[in-house]
Amino acid sequence: MIRIAPIAAATSRANSLSSLSLLLRLEARRLADAFRNPLVDAWAGVALPVVLAVGGLWLAGASARPDISTVDGIILLGLLVAAPVSLQAYPILFRPDDDGFLRRLGIPARALFGIRALRLFVLALAIVLALMIPFVSTRQPLARPFAVAVTAAVAAWAVSLWAQARAAARTSGGRRGVAAGLLGWDPELAAAAALVYAPLYPLVAGAAAAWFVGQEVWTMSLRMLVAIALSLVVVPVAAAAFARALPRFAPHAGELAYAPPPDASGGELVVGRGIARVLPRRAQAVRARDAVVLGRRYRWAGRAAWPVAVVCALAVIRAGGSPAVRAWVTLACGLLLVAQAGAVVALGRSERGRTRGMDRALGLGLADRLVGRWAAALGLGLGLALPLAVGWRIGVDAGGGWIWLAAAAGAAAVASLASLTAAGR
Amino acid sequence: MTADALPLSVRALRKKYRRRVVLDAVAFDVRPGEAVALAGPNGAGKSTLIGCITADRVPDAGDVRICGTDPFAEPRGAAACMGFVPEQPFLYPELSVAELLRFVAAARGLDADASSAEAARLLAMLGLAGAEQTLCRELSQGMGRKTAIAAALLHRPKMILLDEALNGLDRTSAERLVAELDARRAEGAAVLISSHDLDFLAGWCGRGILLPQTGRWTALDGDAWDTWRRAPTLAG
């Protein structure tokens, strides 16, 4: 006979608050598992990219630090905080693994909103702390940038919750705004137009909050309080919209994630193409597979590279002599390399207990997997690093472009090592 | 939710993915104590039909009622009445079997002592006694499915939905589960079960829904069921 001790007071009708309390305890228990049952590979899979990001921000120092003595710098800091919050709001609110399980248990939508809003808030705070690293490493006063960043984070967080909940309600209700017409070339995208545009609201809110708080030092505290209070007013509205939208939108969100058959015109799996032919045959196979999976599962990682590379390369060619231009180019490209490394690590985490077994059955050794994955990750990074290296060589330093190629190779090496570690036995 | 409402009622259900109609005008009831088979080849729409019932898929048209409640309009009411084992069950990898069942009991607002005893009984019935402290990530596929079955039956639902739930179960556990389901049916619970084991469906269920191919369906009642159960086939 097992003993199952109660973890919640037994009630005939669990209300939202007690459900939220239960979900919080579940969250704590899941997080505590990393300490209760520590796995070296799981820790390494998380710690390596974190160390990479923190180390990169520390070393980048002044290059990665917005100049908050100017309005442009203050708004840039607000945007840097708001951008990841606005982009992560949708998956955090509507795509957790346990969404269907919890809904079928009858957990109230407001409790689900509460726990997911909390997760997004923790992410926002983590981004604020990460962005303070260059200020700490260059021994700058922290009070003002911290106040600006925290306010921008709270504003972006609250507006993200509202914008995503509103977009979910509109999408599941079949309502199309005027802006949907701009996406008319793709009917399915137009049907989800509200979701496409939803991240713009928190971006604007984060930038506006940063500008509002950062423009005058003496009234900063008061302005901060006003901005945060105004932001918090939005949260109950978002909760109500989320609760209305969730029952119909949550299954809809799963269907929105449907991946159509891959386009035969590009991205198909071809072993031993181009420069990859220099790799051992088995590593070529791993590279080809990993490149295709990365390209399909984390399409953003490849798609984001080209626009960033083109803009940054043109910027350094035209104005590479300016320290400010070099600084934002370094920051933007460094962040993208870290994000791409994150995709490679995420690929490893998704393989835990699955692909490893298949690789073992195929006789693929650790070296084959490491070299193949490194080559796939490098291919991803070269989309950014190659044009930038050329631009850097022309506009900044005739002998300096190689540093970007080295950075891409190094990031790929760390990411693939962390990825295989995260994939486990 | 009304006391005399049918455990499950489906009316004019239509579902399409892009332009492909998967379910068209599907309509059937499941009455208390019944076991209804859901049969069809891979990709015919069995899981989609169950998904539309459990609110994991949004139907394009039609109406679903679980114990008289609309699972989209009153998700909590439907959840209280329904126990569902999906084809690929979700289990928190960080929780042990006992912790997962404890969480499920608390989330459903069940009495702690009663649910504890019921969880122990279900685990023993399914052959999981002794595995209570095993983390869900360490469970085999069959053990994971058994855990999901225990979680789905813990609150004694009136409508039990099993999507390929017997897959991966050893013969003894499958027989015990069927006996448990029979006991639940005797108490008034209803079962809708999808499986590729047509002989089992023919032998255990009282009627069926056949999805011979995408977009088509046939109700197997009365004589049609008697004919089908003598020679179960996926052809419509």
Nearest to A296 by CA among A271, A272, A260: A260
Q: How many cross-chain Cβ pairs, A to B, lie less than 8 Å apart?
A: 115
Q: How would you classify the pairing of strands B20-30 and B8-17?
A: antiparallel
Chain A contact for B177, CB < 8 A?
Answer: no
CB B225 within 8 A of CB B208: yes
CA distance, residue A11 to nearest chain B CA (Å): 5
Which positions in chain A touch B161 (Cβ < 8 Å)? none
pLDDT tens digits for B165-203? 888 899 999 999 999 999 999 999 999 999 999 999 999
Q: Is the pLDDT of residue B87 over 70?
A: yes
pLDDT of residue A381: 93
pLDDT in tens, B68-78: 999 999 999 99
The 10s digit of each residue's pLDDT in A223-232 is: 999 999 999 9
Does B138 touch chain A if contact means CB atoms closer than 8 Å?
A: no
Residues A362 and A409: beta-carbon distance below 8 Å: no
In this complex, the residue of B92, B113, B116 whose CB is nearest that of residue A98 is B92
B104 in contact with A at a CB cutoff of 8 Å? yes
Q: SS3 for B32?
A: coil
* Structure confidence by residue, pLDDT tens digits, B102-147: 999 999 999 999 999 999 999 999 999 999 999 998 999 999 999 9
Chain B residues whose beta carbon lies within 8 Å of the beta carbon of residue A1? 120
The yes-or-no verdict on residue B95 having pLDDT over 90 is: yes
Residue A49 confidence (pLDDT) above 80: no
B19 inside 8 A of chain A by CB: no
Q: Is residue A189 scored above 90 in pLDDT?
A: no
Asked if B99 has any chain A CB less than 8 Å from its own CB, the reply is: yes
The string over A213-248, giving b where at least 16 C-beta atoms fall within 10 Å of a residue's C-beta and e elsewhere, is bbeeeeebeebbeebbeebeebbeebbbbbbbbbbb
Percent of chain A with pLDDT over 90: 50
Per-residue pLDDT tens for A332-380?
898 899 889 989 988 988 887 666 677 777 888 889 999 999 999 999 9
**Burial class, A78, CB count within 10 angstroms (exposed 0-12 / middle 13-18 / buried 19+):** buried
Q: What angle do CA A124, A228, A204 make, to 5 degrees?
A: 65
B1 has a chain A CB within 8 A of its CB: no
Contacts of A29 in chain B (CB under 8 A): 94-95, 99
Find the CB nearest B116 among A4, A103, A108.
A4
CA distance A258 to chain B (A): 9
Please, what is the average pLDDT of chain B?
93
> Taking CB atoms and an 8 Å limit, are A37 and B135 in contact across chains?
yes
Mind telling me how many Å the CA of A12 is from chain B's nearest CA? Answer: 5
Q: Name the minimum distance, in Å, from the CA of B80 to any CA of chain A.
A: 7
The per-residue pLDDT for range A91-135, each reduced to its tens digit, is 999 999 999 999 999 999 999 999 999 999 999 999 999 999 999
Residues of chain B contacting A100 with CB distance shorter than 8 Å: 54, 56, 86, 90
Amino acid at B5: A
Q: State whether the Cα torsion A345-A346-A352-A357 is positive or negative.
A: negative
Given an 8 Å threshold on Cβ–Cβ distance, is A98 in contact with B110? Answer: no
Across A266-275, average pLDDT: 70
Which of B161, B157, B139 minimizes the C-alpha distance to B37?
A: B161
List of chain A residues whose C-beta atoms are within 8 Å of the C-beta of residue B120: 1-2, 4
Higher pLDDT, A259 or B12: B12
- Torsion angle, CA of A122/A127/A132/A137, rounded to 10 degrees? 110
- Whole-complex ipTM: 0.91
Tokens for A167? 């977009």
Query: How does pLDDT run across A22-37, given as a tens digit for each residue?
Result: 999 999 999 998 888 8
Name the average pLDDT for chain A: 86
B61-66 vs B35-39, strand pairing mode: unpaired
User: Please, which residues bridge with residue B142 across strands?
Assistant: none
Contact B26/B38 with Cβ under 8 angstroms? no
Q: Give the C-alpha separation, B17 to B227, whole Å.
A: 33
How sure is the predictor about B1, in pLDDT bands with cuts at 50, 70 and 90?
A: low
Calpha distance A233→B35 (Å, rounded): 51
